[in-house]
Amino acid sequence: MAASTLAPVADERIIVDEDYGQVCDRVADLIATLITAKPTAVLGMATGSTPRGVYERLIRLHQRDGLDFSRVTCFNLDEYYPIEAASPHSYHEFMNRVLFSSINCRQWHVPNGLPRTPEAIAEDCLRYEELIRAVGGIDLQILGIGRTGHIGFNEPGSSPFSRTRLVHLDAATRRDAAAGFGGLENVPTQAISMGVCTIMEAKQIVLMASGASKAEIVRAALQEKPTAEIPATYLQFHPNLRYFLDEAAASLCLGT
Can you give the binding site for ligand GLP, defined by CB under 6 A? 46-50, 77-78, 144-146, 152-153, 173
Which alpha helices (DSSP H) does 79-214 contain, by range?
91-98, 118-134, 171-181, 196-200
* Buried-exposed string 3-22: b where 16+ CB fall within 10 A, e elsewhere: ebeeeebeeeebbbbbebeb
Q: Dump strand ranges (E) for the chain.
A: 14-17, 42-45, 73-76, 78-81, 107-109, 140-143, 165-168, 190-193, 204-209, 241-246
Cα 256 to Cα 252: distance, rounded to the nearest angstrom: 9
3-class state of residue 83 by DSSP? coil
Least Cβ distance, residue 71 to ligand GLP (angstroms): 25
Q: Which is nearer to ligand GLP, 67 or 144 (CB)?
A: 144
Q: Which is nearer to ligand GLP, 121 or 232 (CB)?
A: 232
Q: Which is nearer to ligand GLP, 68 or 197 (CB)?
A: 197
Least Cβ distance, residue 210 to ligand GLP (angstroms): 8
DSSP H or E stretch at residue 58: helix 52-65
Least Cβ distance, residue 138 to ligand GLP (angstroms): 15
For 134, other C-beta atoms within 10 Å of its C-beta total 10
Least Cβ distance, residue 50 to ligand GLP (angstroms): 3
Q: Which is nearer to ligand GLP, 68 or 82 (CB)?
A: 82
Q: Which is nearer to ligand GLP, 4 or 173 (CB)?
A: 173
CB 24 within 8 A of CB 56: yes
Least Cβ distance, residue 15 to ligand GLP (angstroms): 17
Partners of 192 in the beta sheet? Answer: 79, 166
Q: Which is nearer to ligand GLP, 47 or 251 (CB)?
A: 47
Least Cβ distance, residue 46 to ligand GLP (angstroms): 5
Phi and psi angles of residue 166, each rounded to the nearest 5 degrees, phi first: -80, 130
